[in-house]
Structure 1
């Protein structure tokens, strides 16, 4: 089946999205560390001199709560650094900027983000509107607003606006993948502020994210989730079951928008993921390669969702692979 061009997709998707954001329950996602424990002062210092600045407002949409992000800044800010936008998972119905993406990684997730920052990156871990607050595409609007905010504040925080990476797991991987393929789709920008700046990203790290909602149940997983049901998180995200609103499902799928100018991708997925089929990683990887876009695909043997079942050594290898990919695509060590 031929992938539609963005020129064709934009007006069609605009109509769909104007008419109309949940995946897995809280039990499938690690509970975030209490913020009061992580941020006991206006800022927190991590290993390597990294400074954590919590709860910075990046967007305020009328009728909704202000949206905040946490910044992790490298100790030496004498030059411009690439930025990494981390997007948490939680089925679009739960989670926060401190929620982990690698279940068996030692320490807290903010420490992992600080480790990335210590290599010469400004890391922004964002919060976004959940499905109980607003349907899709509100979540993508917020992620795009965060990217634009980083560009608008590049001078203040020492950011190179031409080198921004999106990184997320599960629902966050879904949104990161959409950031990577919708850089030129004006209908998906939203009204979250700084419209004069681009929301395009240069690279994407997609951990076990949903990329083709219409094919979620095409390869049933024994003991796995059923996505086309009234209780499914996707139903909460879209406001309808997948089979009842295929246009909305396509509009919320990164594969719909793939074209030759998309960001480079690293797709990492567990082979025993009972929540999101590994086929989802293959779908976006194949679509990107067909369009001539650089994409890597890494399967983690035996890993379930959030890489549950991996050893600490495997978890460290996933993070190392992630950092090396980011370094190659936008880092100062290229």
Structure 2
């Protein structure tokens, strides 16, 4: 793990109409087949039990010859109360096409099980991936957790658990404060201390996995300041971290394929530098024509 300082980047993409992304792309409806990109998808694979519920995942395998032997375990959004792994196809396909094995994970929603059942389910998925590393074709030391909105909260919280030994965390517009959903998510009688403890910000620690964050600056569902505070917490403990923000786009902006591709490229670059081929860089000197007059 490098000691590269945290980086905050504001990414500007000139895509017309980006602020009006009010639609959702349909999920990949394949089972043990290959898509046009050569990605193979295996649906509804049983990974274990979550209470009385069967936990399942969808496995997306990269095209032949591109394997990086790294797994990304993805957790969907939906405010903890809704959502499904079945909606994840278009989000996980771009990073899978770059050589990663993607696992879209299902977890119990708040109407079925209260906090921290969602973390218990995430841990079950991670353990299953590690136990099946050989058949998945991945290195058990190179498991990354990724999440979107409420799933970003699950990813960040799970990454803080030392026994999970995760290689990195990828958080898209993550929910870092559960006060607004506490009544539905938390067990009855939960006090303010319990609600604060349910925030991943309370569990950032030294040795936390390298983390890359994505957020739209026009997000009114989860304001981008949440990710700014997350970056500050990571930076304070010298966790290798980056925040990529996108102007003029709302919550779940990566449902647009161009943004999904851009985020996949940035994620790939981050994981290459921080996990697959860790490296540090000397201080960057001003180039010709810049610096002192």
TM-score range, shorter chain: 0.7 to 0.9
Where structure 2 has 5 or more consecutive residues not aligned to the other structure, the ranges are 1-20, 280-293
Rounded to whole Å, the distance in 1 between the matches of 2:67 and 2:41 is 18
Q: Which residue of 2 aligns with 1:54?
A: 43
Change in Cα spacing, 1:238 to 1:52, as seen in structure 2 (3 Å) is same
Q: Which residue of 2 aligns with 1:38?
A: 29
Q: Which residue of 1 aligns with 2:159?
A: 180
Normalising to structure 1: TM-score of the pair? Answer: 0.70
Rounded to whole Å, the distance in 2 between the matches of 1:80 and 1:304 is 32
Q: Judge conservation of contact 2:142–2:166 (CA < 8 Å) in 1.
A: yes
Rounded to whole Å, the distance in 2 between the matches of 1:327 and 1:59 is 31
Instruction: Please report how far the alpha carbon of residue 38 of structure 1 lies from its aligned counterpart in structure 2 after TM superposition.
Output: 0.3
Q: Which residue of 2 aligns with 1:189?
A: none
Cα deviation digits, residues 258-313 of structure 1 (max 9, x gap): 111101111111112111121211121111110111111122112221128x9764
Rounded to whole Å, the distance in 1 between the matches of 2:277 and 2:29 is 29
Q: Which residue of 2 aligns with 1:8?
A: none
Change in Cα spacing, 1:127 to 1:314, as seen in structure 2 (3 Å) is closer
Rounded to whole Å, the distance in 1 between the matches of 2:211 and 2:197 is 20
Backbone CA RMSD of aligned residues:
2.8
Change in Cα spacing, 1:139 to 1:45, as seen in structure 2 (3 Å) is same
Instruction: Please report how far the alpha carbon of residue 331 of structure 1 lies from its aligned counterpart in structure 2 after TM superposition.
Output: 4.0
Rounded to whole Å, the distance in 2 between the matches of 1:49 and 1:328 is 26
Q: 1:234 aligns with which of 171, 179, 182?
A: 182
Change in Cα spacing, 1:29 to 1:147, as seen in structure 2 (3 Å) is farther
Q: Which residue of 1 aligns with 2:269?
A: 324
1:201 aligns with 2:149: no
Q: Which residue of 1 aligns with 2:85?
A: 97
Q: Which residue of 1 aligns with 2:244?
A: 298
Instruction: Please report how far the alpha carbon of residue 132 of structure 1 lies from its aligned counterpart in structure 2 after TM superposition.
Output: 0.3
Q: Judge conservation of contact 2:41–2:61 (CA < 8 Å) in 1.
A: yes
Q: Which residue of 1 aligns with 2:206?
A: 260
Which runs of at least 4 in structure 1 moved beyond 6 Å after TM superposition? Answer: 28-32, 77-80
Paired residue secondary structure (2:139)? strand
Normalising to structure 2: TM-score of the pair? Answer: 0.79
Q: Which residue of 2 aligns with 1:217?
A: none
Rounded to whole Å, the distance in 2 between the matches of 1:29 and 1:249 is 31
Q: Judge conservation of contact 1:31–1:95 (CA < 8 Å) in 2.
A: no
How many matched pairs? 259
